Chains A and B, each alone.
Chain A
Amino acid sequence: MWDMTRNDKNPVSGPHAVEVRGLVKHYGETKALDGVDLDVREGTVLGVLGPNGAGKTTLVRCLSTLIVPDAGTATVAGYDVVRQPRQLRRTIGLTGQYASVDEKLSGWENLYMIGRLLDLSRKDARSRADELLERFSLTDAAKKAAMNYSGGMRRRLDLAASMIGRPAVLYLDEPTTGLDPRTRNEVWDEVQRMVAEGATVLLTTQYMEEAEQLANELTVIDKGKVIANGKVDELKARVGGRTLRIRPVDPSDLPGMARSLAENGLDGVAGSQAVPDEGVLLVPILSDEQLTAVVGLLAARGYAIADLGTYLPSLDEVFLAITGQRPAVDDSVPTEQTEEVAV
């Protein structure tokens, strides 16, 4: 179990841009949020990691005043989500899971409209639209209707739309879900740029990799509850971070390789793990230096390696490491079926 209570172990302190305490939202029997606490420090990115149905989107919708929580409190930039929604809306930008732009309008018209709705003068709204289209590499598509954009272009337009008012806090609700890897990298680049410019970001994601790329701190939620939180590095150390997968030419080398690494303290906290069935050795990697040293050592000992690569744990593996079980399957799926299969 995890014990990284942010309050006493957080080495970096700073004012909180977002503070959530005991937030509850029920939909009939479903507890979408069941007492969530979290903080986002100013100028940092908090990743909210969880499977489908964990309550991530409900959280974002509460924090953007789209729904009213049943209990608990949440403040953004000091404004209460329930009592000061109007002031709060001036400080936030929202990029939803589904592109929240008007499909029938061109990219430029979308941005211009939002500028006007944010009380920019006609002139300022025009120049801000031009500027953001340029920045998000959409200038060529400025006059095309958003419905004709590719998935990645739409998501970029959505990000641009959220940036118009220079919000103090930006919510990104699964910004790359459904995007291909190249497009995903484009979106990541943009998010990193926004953060470099000082934005505070609350990012929800289903991917450990995305959280690792973008977030300073992580909150893992499941079934409306926070099950872990802490700095990304700390969580990674617990979960294992990257794993190096080595396939020797001769599978009988596996025990010897594992021993060599252990003797030299190169097998991480949890130790390496031989998987004879697949003929591979799995080594938890905490740093690039360790990775280099592992490869160097095995080469120096004369082990012939057929294949190697590193990979990040999947959300499933993260949950397995934290809770000892896989993320809950959708409640609507009858459990009997899985039991039958197991028997």
Chain B
Amino acid sequence: MSTVTTAKPAPAPAAAVSAPAGEGRIGLRANLRHIGALVRRNALQIKQDPESMFDVLFMPIIFTLLFVFVFGGAISGKGQQEAYVNYVVPGLMAMMGMNIAMGVGTGVNDDFKKGVMDRFRSMPIARSSVLIAKIVVELGRMMVAIAILLAVGFMLGLSIKTSVFDLFLSIGLSAVFGASLMWIFILLGLTMKTAQAVQGMAMLVLMPLQFGSSIFAPPSTMPGWLQAFTDYNPLSNLADAARGLINGGAVAHPVTVTLIWSVAITAVTMPLAVRKFRQKT
């Protein structure tokens, strides 16, 4: 066919993605403004779709009531539910972060099926700002969940044996760990084809981590191999740290382990997630 395509053998392989240093870079202030605009977007989505807050509103209430009244007596002795409240509420705080982080994956996956993501990716903004905005909003949701959890806890007899400052430290630690988990689920959300697959995969990871931990019951009655697992399970450490901060006790070890986990998870999954996001076609 004598076409017009002067198809010369394409010369340079177009692989070098590196831009000339600095040129066209997005400054920190612009970056923050972009993140702000995208946080506003995510917040407005919640306003438009209030049902998306149901998990945050009801999960802490239902979980706390269930665990305190179903297991509380068995673990702390009949009529001793109040003692269990102080055990399980810090643990649930650790779990809350994990459950909300899971939702981020399905959210990102959904988002990608919509044309608006193409628009964002063809705009002069750092592509990571889309993901960071998502995390900011999810951390906000997590704070709401923790506030409700604590309110229910107080109603059931939770008492802070240390100080309000320590309570806030435990919340902060949960947020740090929760944010690092969100990167895992964002990565899953960007990698897997459907939101259902993300959900299924997430459950598979979540269940052993949640129940093979010190969240609901002290590991002292568990077999040795499981205790070895719970010792290194980040959720156990976070739960122990939160428990120590609220009830008093040694916290240095669990806090350190939790922070190490958070940093390690973020350091590995955040660059992968951002890279995946850039390359997504």
Q: Name A's B-contacting residues (CB within 8 A).
A: 1-6, 21-24, 34-37, 61, 64-73, 82-87, 89-90, 92, 94, 96, 98-105, 109, 113-114, 116-119, 145, 161, 225-229, 323
Query: 15 A-B contacts, Cβ less than 8 Å apart?
Result: A2-B3, A65-B122, A71-B10, A71-B12, A84-B20, A86-B23, A100-B119, A104-B45, A105-B44, A109-B41, A114-B123, A117-B125, A119-B33, A228-B3, A323-B1
Q: How large is the interface on B (under 10, 10 to 19, 20 to 34, 35 or more residues)?
A: 35 or more
Q: Are A35 and B10 in contact (CB under 8 A)?
A: yes
Q: Are A82 and B4 in contact (CB under 8 A)?
A: no
Determine which of A65, A84, A101, A227 lies in contact with B3 in the assembled complex, contact meaning CB atoms within 8 Å.
Answer: A227
Tell me whether B6 is interfacial, beta carbon within 8 Å.
Answer: yes
Q: Decide: A225 near B3, CB < 8 A? Known: A22-B8, A87-B23, A100-B115.
A: yes
Docked CA distance A225–B121 (Å):
26
Q: Are A105 and B8 in contact (CB under 8 A)?
A: no
Docked CA distance A312–B16 (Å):
45
Q: Decide: A83 near B16, CB < 8 A? Known: A64-B122, A225-B3.
A: yes
Determine which of A36, A86, A227 lies in contact with B1 in the assembled complex, contact meaning CB atoms within 8 Å.
Answer: A227
Docked CA distance A23–B34 (Å):
32
Q: Among the listed stretches B24-32, B79-87, B205-213, which one makes contact with chain A, having 4 or more residues with CB under 8 Å of it?
A: B24-32
Docked CA distance A117–B25 (Å):
14
The residue on B at minimum CB distance from A221 is: B5
Determine which of B5, B8, B37, B123 lies in contact with A226 in the assembled complex, contact meaning CB atoms within 8 Å.
Answer: B5
Contacts of A105 in B (CB 8 A): 41, 44-45, 48
Tell me whether B200 is interfacial, beta carbon within 8 Å.
Answer: no
The residue on B at minimum CB distance from A23 is: B10
Looking at the assembled complex, report how far the CB atom of B199 sits from the nearest CB atom of chain A, in whole angstroms.
21
Determine which of B12, B14, B26, B37 lies in contact with A86 in the assembled complex, contact meaning CB atoms within 8 Å.
Answer: B26
Q: Are B122 and A66 in contact (CB under 8 A)?
A: yes
Q: Decide: A71 near B14, CB < 8 A? Known: A35-B5, A89-B124.
A: yes
Contacts of A145 in B (CB 8 A): 48
Looking at the assembled complex, report how far the CB atom of B247 sits from the nearest CB atom of chain A, in whole angstroms.
42
Docked CA distance A118–B119 (Å):
12
Q: Are B118 and A24 in contact (CB under 8 A)?
A: no
Looking at the assembled complex, report how far the CB atom of B147 sits from the nearest CB atom of chain A, in whole angstroms.
25
Tell me whether B224 is interfacial, beta carbon within 8 Å.
Answer: no
Tell me whether B49 is interfacial, beta carbon within 8 Å.
Answer: yes
Tell me whether B221 is interfacial, beta carbon within 8 Å.
Answer: no
The residue on A at minimum CB distance from B18 is: A83
Q: Decide: A96 near B3, CB < 8 A? Known: A104-B45, A119-B33.
A: no
